[in-house]
Structure 1
Amino acid sequence: MSKRSIIPAEMQPLYDDWHMSPGLECDGFVFLTGVNGVATDGTVSPDAAEQIETAFVHVKSVLSEAGMSFDDIVEVTSYHVGIRQHLEIFRNIWKRLVTEPYPAWTAIEVAGFASEGVVVELRVIARRRT
């Protein structure tokens, strides 16, 4: 089994400070660390749509660093605080970004996250095309 860290330049502090890879490739799969809507400068927008967009920008950044795209995603689990208030926003952003065949997706309501004010976090698994 071979493993390789995937670290976009703007996420190097996550690797250094938290000792975790933004993405980890293992045997053709790329596992992303929980991706939320916290901006790279550490700020959290009070706007759910902006947070969700930011989370997907982070996902794109990790996938791009790995030479991949949203087309390579095979599974997403989205965790939400206040899911009923922003699920439709999430779905509209999702529809704009994913293409057929669609990845598997599970949405789960949670009580909260480590960062105050965060409303969404994404668990993403992608697979390199052979």
Structure 2
Amino acid sequence: MEFIQSSELPAPAGHYSQAVAAGGLVFLSGILPSKDIAQDALFEAQCNSVFDQCEKVLRAAGCGFDDVVQCTAYLAGVEHWSAFNNIYARVFGEHKPARAVVPVPGLHYGFLVEVQLVARRP
């Protein structure tokens, strides 16, 4: 196993890695918006922050969004589903990884979105 840490992001505050590579795959831990995004920021701003961080971790692993094979998104409320679909389509373009969107009652720090990815190493 290889533990991956993007030099562009702060180290995790807890006992986990930003990502772990094993068996030709890269597993990104759940990523919340960065701490410089206010918890009351608009949903789109929170999603943009999450996907920006995902991109940095993927890059540190030698991957990009075109290498993502699976995405799990946790949304604080089903009312954000449509907005998430639009942002997700913009981020991934024609690439369509497997995906699960899980509405939850709440997320850490009061954020509205958390994303976890699995990518293949090219």
TM normalised by structure 1 equals: 0.84
Q: In structure 2, how many angstroms separate the alpha carbons of the residues matched to 1:51 and 1:124?
A: 17
Amino acid at match of 1:13: A
Tell whether 2:102 aligns with 1:108. yes
How many Å apart are 1:92 and its aligned residue?
A: 1.4
Select the residue among 7, 10, 22 that pairs with 1:9: 7
Percent sequence identity over matched residues?
Answer: 32
- 4+ aligned runs moved over 6 Å, structure 1: none
TM normalised by structure 2 equals: 0.89
1:53-110 residue CA offsets vs partner (Å, 9 max, x unmatched): 11101110100111110000000111111221x2222111111121444100111111
The verdict on how the C-alpha distance between 1:42 and 1:48 changes in structure 2, with shifts beyond 3 A counting, is closer
Could you say what the CA RMSD is over the residues aligned between the two structures, in angstroms?
1.7
How many Å apart are 1:114 and its aligned residue?
A: 2.3
Q: Structure 1: where are the runs of 5+ without partners?
A: none
Paired residue total: 122
Which is further off, 51-60 or 99-108? Answer: 99-108
